Amino acid sequence: MTPAFRLMGIVNVTPDSFSDGGRFMRARAAIEHGRALVGEGAQIVDVGGESTRPGAEPVAVDEELRRVAPVVEGLASADWGPARPQISIDTSKAPVARAALEAGATLVNDVTALRGDGRMAELVAQSGADCCLMHMLGEPRTMQQSPRYDDVVDEVKSFLLARMEFAVHEGIEEDRLLLDPGIGFGKTVDHNLALLARLDELVALGRPLVVGTSRKGFLGRIGGDATGPRRLAGTVATNVLALERGASVFRVHEVAPVREALAVAAATLGGKWTSSPPATRTQTS
């Protein structure tokens, strides 16, 4: 049976990401972590060298390249066998994306939706890579400073439609685009919940919808774990809800438990299931 969803495992090669900053700064550790995520069921490995947490400061191009290039190269050149994942580069800088694509990445995950670097759209179009366009209000340093919308779902939908039309106009094939409403990127708790409740309105745009709620702060505010780094139960709950509403790509830190929950939810919703082998766990350094 064709999977109803894809899991995007997160590999943060940063010292300041909100939940795992500094854990995978060494290329070897990051590569091993990526391999472990694939062993747990990730079909996409998303490598990022610049934190986009609220208040994060920008990272210079050279530094971002130093962090991500060996990791992308190591993952892309690994002997995966039939479980080969898609390698994604999480960046808004064209030079970083170019280096990652040359090293073997085939997806550009741009939190600015091609607004951060005027060269990015042409690069993606010429490379033939897939591209994820995300909604963010402002920039990481300012996005959580009293975000306001008249109707957050309508405004996010209009933004994503406009950025999708821009991308196609710039030569990126529509069937290579993914859309991300940007949960937690310039949104209050109520905004995030409204987006989750009405995801079907965004799915109507016709492209795979990416949901990234993993360990986000709003889960802690609702569940009472305001400072805890995991927030796994909330992550699982929001991803299952998002699947029911039509999302199909789930960006997560912990792949195995989310994969299991989504497999059960998909079987329940679809009325079909197939026996899956147990996820393998690879020890990371």
Q: Tell me the C-alpha to C-alpha distance, in Å, between residue 175 and each of 17, 98, 130, 203.
A: 31, 21, 8, 14
CB-count exposure of residue 278 (10 Å: 0-12, 13-18, 19+): exposed
With left for phi above 0 and alpha for psi between -120 and 50, is residue 138 left, alpha or beta? Answer: left
The pLDDT score that the predictor gives to residue 24 is 60
The answer to whether residue 280 scores a pLDDT higher than 60 is no
109: closest CA among 126, 79, 135, 89?
A: 89
285 assigned to some structural domain: no
pLDDT of res. 3:
54
Average pLDDT taken over every residue of the chain = 89
Strand partners, 45: 9, 87
Give the neighbor-by-neighbor strand order of the sheet with 107-110. 177-180, 130-134, 107-110, 86-90, 44-48, 6-12, 249-252, 210-211
In a domain, 279, yes or no: no
**So what's the pLDDT on residue 198?**
98
Please say whether the beta carbons of 282 and 36 come within 8 A.
yes
Q: Judge whether 225 lies within some domain.
A: yes
Show the CA angle centred on residue 272, arms to residues 268 and 275, nearest 5°. Answer: 100
Distance CA 129, CA 16 (A): 28
Contact predicate 257/279, CB 8 Å: no
Share of the chain above pLDDT 70, in %: 86
Active-site residues, by number, are 216, 251
pLDDT at 15: 76
Triad 164, 142, 16: Cα angle to 5°: 95
Domain residues for 50?
Answer: 6-270
Which CATH number does the domain housing residue 246 bear?
Answer: 3.20.20.20
- Looking at the 3D structure of the chain, how many domains does it have? 1
| Between 180 and 279, residue with greater pLDDT | 180
Judge whether 284 lies within some domain: no
Q: Is there a domain that residue 82 lies in?
A: yes
**pLDDT tens sequence across 198-248:** 999 999 999 999 999 999 989 988 987 655 557 899 999 999 999 999 999
278 located within any domain: no
Is 276 part of any domain? no
User: Looking at residue 270, what is its pLDDT?
Assistant: 84
Query: Does residue 282 sit within a domain?
Result: no
Which amino acid would we find at residue 56?
A
Alpha-helical runs (H) found in the chain: 27-39, 61-76, 94-103, 120-127, 152-169, 189-197, 199-203, 217-223, 232-244, 255-270
Short-list 208, 103, 88, 110, CA closest to 167: 110
* Banded model confidence at residue 4, pLDDT cuts 50, 70, 90: confident
Q: For 145, which DSSP code?
A: S
